[in-house]
């Protein structure tokens, strides 16, 4: 096998606008199939994946001998089910985040991955972007000294889009499942640490889903604070504040959509603050992610972001829910 033949379960907007083009543009892979019951929704995919085969059911796609790997952008509550079915059919799977609603649900997918020898991964694309790889390397090299504080923020406003699936609690909606995975997982990725304790939660809900939250946590060597919201002006950043410097990442989660991805490193020189700006104007983390996946399957090398890492982020989310529930009972 010289390249991976990809299929997509469902013609979602994100699959159409971001991951579909990435699957087709990534080296050593090609988008060849789409499962959707709507012929109209399939039309835009043919514009960048000419000749794509359209199946009218998910089952037909995952059992096709012409598909090697499946990308799953279905509603959150369907991820584990269809990842398992795809692996049962012999397909490698890349599943949108969050892969599961609870950390324990990862175990089923991990066990099936190990039993089948197939690659299964959550589509946590940021760790494949050179902005994040450099940030981790700078931190590990001591560029900001001993870490004291990490803060993260990610927001958008979808209040007018009342039919948005993120507003449906039965389908795993909410801001924390949707974008909390980024600001929680990013802190874990750079530092290699896991939270000891969730110190506080302030969560506002509408119709059963969280739309705004402020969370603080204690990690072994630093304090963490994070805000995510579906009711604020679009914004995203991560800040790592140490005793000798500050590292700020702009557009850390949607590079080139929220602006240019940059690392701003501020340290104290003999004559005052010194600021270094490291720019990433062109990298596409979705393409990098798919290329990493293709390489892992075709070359038999370890995937850079295994399910065990993704389970750790979900475990932090579970800790947030548990803390919030405990505070609500007081």
CA atoms within 13 A on the CB side of 128: 24
CB 96 within 8 A of CB 123: yes
Question: How would you list the strands of the sheet with 92-95, edge to edge?
Answer: 53-55, 29-35, 4-9, 69-72, 92-95, 120-122
> Which of 13, 30, 85, 97 is the catalytic position?
97
pLDDT band of 330, cuts 50, 70, 90: low
The CA angle 8-10-13, to the nearest 5 degrees, is 100
Of 22, 94, 8, 97, nearest to 256 by C-alpha is 22
Could you report the per-residue pLDDT of 182-210, keeping only the tens digit for each? 999 999 999 999 999 999 999 999 999 99
Domain ranges for the chain: 4-124, 130-282
pLDDT band of 1, cuts 50, 70, 90: confident
The CATH class of the 4-124 domain is alpha beta
Of 108, 153, 322, 176, nearest to 253 by C-alpha is 153
CB 288 within 8 A of CB 261: no
Whether omega before 98 lies within 30 degrees of 0, making that bond cis, reads yes
pLDDT band of 16, cuts 50, 70, 90: very high
CA 35, CA 30: separation in Å to the nearest integer?
15
Could you report the per-residue pLDDT of 245-271, keeping only the tens digit for each? 999 999 999 998 888 999 999 998 777
Is 97 catalytic? The answer is yes
User: Is pLDDT above 90 for 75?
Assistant: yes
Q: How far is CA 144 from the centre of its chain?
A: 26
CA 241, CA 266: separation in Å to the nearest integer?
10
Q: Which CATH number fits domain 130-282: 3.40.640.10, 3.60.20.10, 3.30.360.10, 3.90.1640.10?
A: 3.30.360.10
CA 70, CA 237: separation in Å to the nearest integer?
31
Record the pTM.
Answer: 0.95
114 token code pair: 């190990």
Of 77, 89, 100, nearest to 35 by C-alpha is 89
CA 198, CA 41: separation in Å to the nearest integer?
42
Q: Read off the DSSP letter of residue 228.
A: E
């Amino acid at each position: 096998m010289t390249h991976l033949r990809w299929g997509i379960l469902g013609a979602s907007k994100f699959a159409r606008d971001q991951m579909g083009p990435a699957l087709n543009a990534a080296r050593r892979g090609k988008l060849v199939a789409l499962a959707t019951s709507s012929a109209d929704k399939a039309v835009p995919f043919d514009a960048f994946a000419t000749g794509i085969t359209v199946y009218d059911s998910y089952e037909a796609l995952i059992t096709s001998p012409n598909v090697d790997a499946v990308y799953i952008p279905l509603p959150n509550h369907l991820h584990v089910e269809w990842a398992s079915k795809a692996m049962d059919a012999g397909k490698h799977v890349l599943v949108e985040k969050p892969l599961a609603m609870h950390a324990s649900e990862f175990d089923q997918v991990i066990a099936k991955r190990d039993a089948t020898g197939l690659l299964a991964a959550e589509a946590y694309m940021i760790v494949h972007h050179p902005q994040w790889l450099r940030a981790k390397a700078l931190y590990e090299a001591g560029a900001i000294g001993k870490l004291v504080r990490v803060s993260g923020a990610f927001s958008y406003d979808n209040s007018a889009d009342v039919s948005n699936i993120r507003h449906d609690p039965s389908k795993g909606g909410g801001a924390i499942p949707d974008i909390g995975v980024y600001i929680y997982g990013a802190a874990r990725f750079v530092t290699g640490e896991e939270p000891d304790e969730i110190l506080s939660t302030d969560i506002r809900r509408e119709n059963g889903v969280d739309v705004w939250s402020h969370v603080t946590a204690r990690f072994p060597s630093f304090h963490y604070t994070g805000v995510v919201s579906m009711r604020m002006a679009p914004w995203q950043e991560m800040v790592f504040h140490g005793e000798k410097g500050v590292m700020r990442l702009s557009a850390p989660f949607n590079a080139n959509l929220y602006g240019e991805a940059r690392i701003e490193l501020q340290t104290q020189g003999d004559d005052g603050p010194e600021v270094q700006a490291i720019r990433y104007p062109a990298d596409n983390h979705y393409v990098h992610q798919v290329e990493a996946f293709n390489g892992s399957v075709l070359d038999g090398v370890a995937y850079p972001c295994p399910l065990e890492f993704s389970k750790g982020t979900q475990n932090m989310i579970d800790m947030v829910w548990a803390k919030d529930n405990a505070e609500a009972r007081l």
